[in-house]
Amino acid sequence: MNNQLWTCARSSSEESWKRNMEKMKTLDVDAHDWLAKMEPNTWVRAYFSTFPKCDILLNNNCEVFNSYILEARELPIMSMFEKIICQLMTRHYSKRKKLENEMTSSFCPKITKKLAKKC
């Protein structure tokens, strides 16, 4: 029954969810009734919103960071840390220098653009 519960929760379409709920009903009517009382948008993948809840794509950030340190990951632990620190310090320095060249006011460029649109 536990596997069937997870099958229902992982259903990617309404039709498959309904089909999986019918299978749950054949296994245990009480469990089916209990699940049917809950709003499907709180526990079924098919009903989840595709709208992102956050403007930061954390997974993408992790993947970029992992690919960035790929060469360092092959080193012994202390050498790996030193290599990553050097890479990050160089990156932060170059990004800061680039931003300094783009700064025309005491506000960062994104805020300056937003202020320009408002005024």
Chain length of the chain: 119
pLDDT at 34 exceeding the cut of 60: yes
- 59 and 66 Cβ atoms separated by less than 8 Å: no
Those residues whose C-beta lies under 8 Å from the C-beta of residue 17, and which sit 6 or more positions away, are 8, 11, 40, 44, 46, 47
- 11 and 35 Cβ atoms separated by less than 8 Å: no
Ordered by start, the domain boundaries in the chain are: 2-47, 59-118
Weakest mean pLDDT among 47-51, 83-87, 88-92: 47-51
Which pLDDT score, from 0 to 100, does residue 53 have?
65
Give the mean pLDDT of the chain.
87
